[in-house]
Amino acid sequence: MAIIVRLDVMLAMRKMRAKDLAAEIGITEANLSLLRTAKVKGVRFETLDAICRQLKCQPGDLLEFVDVED
């Protein structure tokens, strides 16, 4: 998988804890942790929208495509 999740970076930049973000956007800490470590198969637009709204950023700030061979 060549998609890198930059959620940790955005959380650090906004000085926000993952626990608080999870509470704000209404998903479990466990699911947010899975998302931060890119151990999920997908992200709902609804979740992406809530994260972007909360962290005041763009989807591209959270996800990065790196062109690497599998």
Partner 1 sequence: MSVAAEARKLRPWVFALFVLAVVLVVSEIAVNGIAGTAKLKALREAGADLSLMTQLDAFLSQILRAAPAIALTSALWYAQNYLGRLERGDLWAASTALLVDEVGRALTWTSVLMLAVVPTLGLWLDGRGPFQIDLEALPVVLGGLGLALIVVSRGLGAALTAAEALKSEHDQIV
* Contact footprint for partner 1 (CB under 8 A): 27, 31-32, 34-35, 40-44, 47
Closest CB to partner 1 among residues 16, 47 = 47
Q: How far is CA 19 from the centre of its chain?
A: 13
d(CA 20, CA 35): 15
Smallest gap from Cβ 69 to partner 1, in A, equals 24
Closest CB to partner 1 among residues 9, 43 = 43
Contact by Cβ (8 Å): 33, 8: no
Closest CB to partner 1 among residues 9, 34 = 34
Amino acid sitting at position 2:
A
